[in-house]
Amino acid sequence: MKALRFHQYGGPEVLQIDDVPIPEPGTGEVLVRVSGSGVNPVDWKLREGHLKDYWPLQLPAIVSREFSGTIERLGDGVSGFSVGDEIYGIADGSCADYLVAKVGDFALKPPSMDLPDSGGVPLAAMTAYQGLFDHGGIQAGQKVLIHAATGGVGSFAVQMAKWAGATVYGTASANRLDSIADFGVDVPIDYKAQRFEEVAKDVDLVLDTVGGETAERSLASLKSGGVLVSTVGAEPKRDGVRSVSFMMKPSHDQLSKISDLIQDLKVRPVIDAVVPLIRAIEAQKESQTGHIMGKLVVDVRR
Ligand SMILES: NC(=O)c1ccc[n+]([C@@H]2O[C@H](COP(=O)([O-])OP(=O)(O)OC[C@H]3O[C@@H](n4cnc5c(N)ncnc54)[C@H](OP(=O)(O)O)[C@@H]3O)[C@@H](O)[C@H]2O)c1
């Protein structure tokens, strides 16, 4: 099968499309014929070795971690799924014709979504869900500030926060303020021209996917008792507020819930582009610029 791999840590120049053996599903695993492989910032962070102290890779490694596809074969002990089921989820090495996924890390994809596009949903959508609900404890009627509302995580988070009944403040570049208002942001903020903390005040929850100065300044937006939830390890301190950072954990139940939200049109995934495997390296470079709108997906069958 074809797979986008790197044999050593480094920049995009270490990426190459290789011919590799099809993996074997073990107990509690399924073999998936991949359709969509979602591109995420973690792909370049892993490839460049930024995470290798606590997330070492066996090289050569196949790129990307989220997928959609069709179950090709069931490993021992797998029940509740059948060959031919269209699923989406998290598995190492998704930018390939086939992968092995663990039961518990995937669910049936939303029926209304095209199979390739749905490969761009699981990682960002579960991160948004866990940030808002599991770590942020979002409640109806709260004020929530979502940074990078145009990003993969942010574009899901805005819609989920609206579904939860919150008033949503969101940051984006000037030319994308209309877009984030379309996803549901009540108060769009131009992060380059405005001090967001002067607009978003007394908020209950900040979901921060930017970090650094943005995380520090976000403390001023929070009301006493509020919480800052970070996807990038930022835990700035202020008396009377809580800061927490987390790593997304795959969850079958949350993916099923996300399928329902998409099916019920509560959440509409923002897919920037779906590109063929031959353009996968360009997609990786584009993601690394940090200026994607929504999600980029590689359709490995094209
Ligand atoms: N902890 C976890 O489990 C977890 C899971 C998923 C993601 N993450 C991390 O979370 C971060 C975000 O992920 P993502 O997939 O959402 O990234 P992304 O889609 O690549 O984010 C890109 C977006 O961020 C916007 N942006 C950049 N700087 C900004 C700023 N200072 N203020 C407001 N918006 C800004 C960009 O808008 P402009 O182009 O208009 O500037 C662009 O639309 C990444 O660092 C990723 O590694 C962590």
Residue 89: its pLDDT value, please? 98
Q: Which residues of 161-187 are buried (b: 16+ CB within 10 A; e: fewer)?
A: bbbbebbbbbbbbeebbebbbebbbbb
Ligand 1 closest atom vs CA 40: 15
pLDDT of residue 154: 98
pLDDT given at position 153: 98
pLDDT on residue 291? 95
Q: Which domains does the chain have, with CATH numbers?
A: 2-121+269-299 (3.90.180.10), 124-245 (3.40.50.720)
Can you give the pLDDT at residue 116?
Answer: 98
What does the pLDDT profile of the chain (302 residues) look like in tens digits? 999 999 999 999 999 999 999 999 999 999 999 999 999 999 999 999 999 999 999 999 999 999 999 999 999 999 999 999 999 999 999 999 999 999 999 999 999 999 999 999 999 999 999 999 999 999 999 999 999 999 999 999 999 999 999 999 999 999 999 999 999 999 999 999 999 999 999 999 999 999 999 999 999 999 999 999 999 999 999 999 999 999 999 999 999 999 999 999 999 999 999 999 999 999 999 999 999 999 999 999 99
Answer whether 128 contacts ligand 1 (Cβ < 6 A): no
Determine the distance separating the centroid of ligand 1 and the alpha carbon of 182, expressed in angstroms: 19
231: Cβ below 6 Å to ligand 1?
Answer: yes
Which residue in 136, 103, 106 sits closest to 121, CA to CA? 106
Looking at residue 42, its pLDDT comes to: 98
For residue 5 and ligand 1, the question of a CB distance below 6 A is answered with no
Distance from residue 171's CA to the centre of ligand 1 (Å):
11
Q: Which residue among 42, 153, 270 is best mutated to probe the pocket of ligand 1, counting the most ligand atoms within 8 A of its Cβ?
A: 153
pLDDT of residue 131: 98
List the beta bridge partners of residue 68.
88
Ligand 1 within 6 A of 32 CB? Answer: no
Question: What pLDDT, on a 0 to 100 scale, did the predictor assign at position 77?
Answer: 97
pLDDT at 134: 98
Give the ligand 1 atom nearest the CA of 171.
33
Report residue 164 CA to chain centroid gap.
19
Question: Are 246 and 262 contacting, i.e. CB atoms less than 8 angstroms apart?
Answer: no
